[in-house]
Amino acid sequence: MAKKVGMEGSLAVSEAVKLANTDVVAAYPITPQTHIVESLAEMVANGDLDAEYIPVESEHSAMSACLGSSAVGARTFTATAGQGLELMHEVLYVASSMRLPIVMAVANRALSSPLSVWGDHSDVMAVRDCGWIQVFAENAQEAHDLVLWAFRVGEDTNVLFPVMVNIDGFNLSHVTEPLLLMEQADVDKYLPVNKYPLPLHPDKPVTMGAFGPPFIYTEAKKAQEVAFQNTKETILKGWDEFEKVFGRRYSPIETYQADDAETLLLTMGSLSETASLAVDNMREQGKKVGLVKIRLWRPFPFEEFRKTVKNANVLVVLDRCLSFGGPGGPVASEVRSALYDQANRPKVVSLIGGLGGRDVTPQNFEYMVDRGLEIAEKGSDSEYEMIGVRK
Amino acid sequence: MADLTWKDMEIGNIITTPGSARAYRTGDWRSDKPIKDYETCIKCGMCWLYCPEAAITIDDDGMYGFDLFYCKGCGICAEECPKKCITMIEEEEV
């Protein structure tokens, strides 16, 4: 039986990294990710985790060290947040195009300036196109589970891509929640040994990261994109197997009270739990409101998403990130694009809130639904609206 | 190499054959190419010594020539030749 414990979200992540018997952790501490790497450093120092802990001088170096360790076939983990993720930016693309199955937890944080250590999704949205598999966790249990799943999926020889597990800074990373801690025997059953097919090894030398002149670069990118699209099957299988071993079910798109809903809220990450409270309130008032949560952000689950929202009239999307001068929040703009060619589709309303750690309450979600319906009916004079701004 | 399709790529574009860079023609970057007056050459080997690309060849008689598959046309051989028997000419003139 899995043990029920009270545990901080960050420690739920590092416990999963320990249970996965990770070989290398290369990381640089940054708020609000610090507790993850602090606790891992402690586990390694105390001999509880037999891994190399590489303290580095920056996040750029952290990800570069991860490339090296993953390239020799070592199970590799790192974690970062906000500015740290942006400093890693160029190396993220190298990890995915070199097909190195690094697992990274991102404790989502706003970007400077003004300097903010608090949570939003500006950091991950800026690396949206970097070719990593990206998922969002809603609570500490999901963070714990998804890290283990990330190793299994990323290292699968049908996948071989890095995986990013997003957990909201502070709201998840620093909150203690009840958690079913996975048993080592179950973890060993679920997660096979990492066998990278072409590792760096003196017995069989290979060249990694060679240059690609114009005659081959396009072919290299096509191969990467096809391989990335094909990860979906293993992603789903990874969740099916997870349910068999641990009894908890995950899906690319998840819903709450969405089946007969006329108006749908769309959220990602920890705010989904708050939004579900608002849905309960509005259901009591007789409003047909439901919630859609995107778990799998990349590769984007187009088919599941379209199927889920097709019968709704209005889809109100809450983005925790601004696209300055753009067509709305990044999530709203993507789902609009995903729905544009569909015969049956809801009107998409783009709202932006929860920036830089600003709380979003159930009342705020109720306002979003009311305002969303108003915009859907009468239109708005801007591409998107920011909610909760003092005037 | 130029007819590889996207299906021929190894995972992560890993190269499994050592030394495959030899097949890459660097000579097509060249805008100037060296020509040589073989009558004046004294086979001193300064061109061979100075060439940064190891693109100077030696034949059985000890005569130096050019490997235009790799020669990038930098002109260092022409500059260093003590007999000034190497001249750089524009590719189009050939």
Q: Could you tell me how far CA A389 lies from the centroid of its own chain? A: 27
Judge whether A148 and A220 are in contact, CB under 8 Å.
Answer: no
Q: B75 CA to chain A: closest CA distance, Å?
A: 24
- Contact of B19 with chain A, judged by CB distance below 8 Å, is answered with no
Interface test with A, best of B6, B22, B28 (most A CBs within 10 A): B6
Q: Which residues, other chains included, contact A96 with Cβ-Cβ below 8 Å and sequence gap of 6+? A: A130, A131, A132, A161, A162, A224, A228
Tell me what pLDDT residue A331 has: 98
DSSP H or E segment with residue B56: strand B56-58
Asked if residue A325 and residue A235 are part of one domain, the reply reads: no
Q: How far apart, in Å, are the Cα atoms of A322 and each of A110, A125, A159, A357, A382? A: 11, 9, 31, 14, 14
Task: Return mean pLDDT, chain A.
Answer: 97
Q: Which of A220, A246, A272 is the last residue of a domain?
A: A246
Q: Do A198 and B11 touch (CB under 8 A)?
A: yes
Tell me what pLDDT residue B94 has: 54
- Confidence band for A330, pLDDT divided at 50, 70 and 90: very high
The strand pair at B64-66 and B86-90 is best described as unpaired
Right CATH for B27-93 from 3.20.20.10, 3.40.190.10, 3.40.640.10, 3.30.70.20: 3.30.70.20
Question: Residue A147 region, left (φ>0) first, then alpha (ψ -120 to 50), else beta?
Answer: alpha
Asked if pLDDT for residue A51 goes beyond 60, the answer is yes
Asked if residue A227 and residue A275 are part of one domain, the reply reads: no
Q: A251 CA to chain B: closest CA distance, Å?
A: 27
Distance CA A307, CA A334 (A): 16
In chain A, the number of structural domains is 2
Domain assignment of residue A391, yes or no: no
Q: B55, B69, B28, B70: which is closest to A213 by C-alpha?
A: B28
Q: Could you tell me how far CA A19 lies from the centroid of its own chain? A: 20
Residues of B in contact with A98 (CB under 8 A): 12-14
Question: CB neighbours (10 Å) of residue A384?
Answer: 21
- Confidence band for A117, pLDDT divided at 50, 70 and 90: very high
- Contact of B9 with chain A, judged by CB distance below 8 Å, is answered with yes
Q: Which of A194, A212, A246 is the last residue of a domain?
A: A246
Tell me what pLDDT residue B93 has: 60
Tell me what pLDDT residue B19 has: 85
DSSP H helical segments within chain A, as ranges? 9-19, 34-45, 59-71, 82-97, 122-125, 140-155, 184-190, 214-229, 231-246, 271-284, 302-309, 330-339, 362-378
Asked if pLDDT for residue A52 goes beyond 90, the answer is yes
Tell me what pLDDT residue B23 has: 86
Asked if pLDDT for residue A263 goes beyond 80, the answer is yes
CATH number at residue A345: 3.40.50.920
Q: Do B13 and A97 touch (CB under 8 A)?
A: yes
Asked if residue A182 and residue A41 are part of one domain, the reply reads: yes
Asked if residue A348 and residue A379 are part of one domain, the reply reads: yes
Q: End-to-end distance of chain B based on CA atoms, in angstroms?
A: 27
The tens digit of pLDDT for each residue in A277-300 reads 999 999 999 999 999 999 999 999
| B6: nearest CB among A198, A208, A219 | A219
Domain assignment of residue A323, yes or no: yes
Domain assignment of residue A311, yes or no: yes
Residue of B nearest to A208 (CA): B14
Domain assignment of residue A124, yes or no: yes
The tens digit of pLDDT for each residue in A217-237 reads 999 999 999 999 999 999 999
Asked if residue A11 and residue A79 are part of one domain, the reply reads: yes
Asked if residue A132 and residue A64 are part of one domain, the reply reads: yes
Q: B13 CA to chain A: closest CA distance, Å?
A: 7
Distance CA A47, CA A55 (A): 17
**To 10 degrees, what angle do helices A271-284 and A362-378 make?**
70
> Which structural domain, as residue segments, surrounds residue A378?
253-386
Q: Which of A222, A246, A270 is the last residue of a domain?
A: A246
- Contact of B3 with chain A, judged by CB distance below 8 Å, is answered with no
Asked if residue A180 and residue A257 are part of one domain, the reply reads: no
Q: A219 CA to chain B: closest CA distance, Å?
A: 4
> What percent of chain A has a predicted confidence (pLDDT) above 90?
98
Asked if residue A203 and residue A268 are part of one domain, the reply reads: no
Q: Which residues of chain B have pLDDT under 70?
A: 1, 93-94
Question: CB neighbours (10 Å) of residue A286?
Answer: 7
- Contact of B23 with chain A, judged by CB distance below 8 Å, is answered with no
Asked if residue A228 and residue A355 are part of one domain, the reply reads: no
The tens digit of pLDDT for each residue in A232-261 reads 999 999 999 999 999 999 999 999 999 999
Asked if pLDDT for residue A312 goes beyond 70, the answer is yes
Interface test with B, best of A96, A102, A198 (most B CBs within 10 A): A198
Tell me what pLDDT residue B1 has: 64
Domain assignment of residue A260, yes or no: yes
CATH number at residue A64: 3.40.50.970
User: What mean pLDDT comes out for the span A33-59?
Assistant: 98
Residues of A in contact with B13 (CB under 8 A): 97-98, 209-210, 212, 220, 223
Asked if residue A314 and residue A215 are part of one domain, the reply reads: no
Asked if residue A291 and residue A233 are part of one domain, the reply reads: no
Interface test with A, best of B5, B9, B20 (most A CBs within 10 A): B9
Residues of A in contact with B11 (CB under 8 A): 99, 160, 197-198, 227
Asked if residue A259 and residue A224 are part of one domain, the reply reads: no
Radius of gyration of chain A (CA): 21
The ipTM estimated for the assembled molecules is 0.85
The tens digit of pLDDT for each residue in A131-183 reads 999 999 999 999 999 999 999 999 999 999 999 999 999 999 999 999 999 99
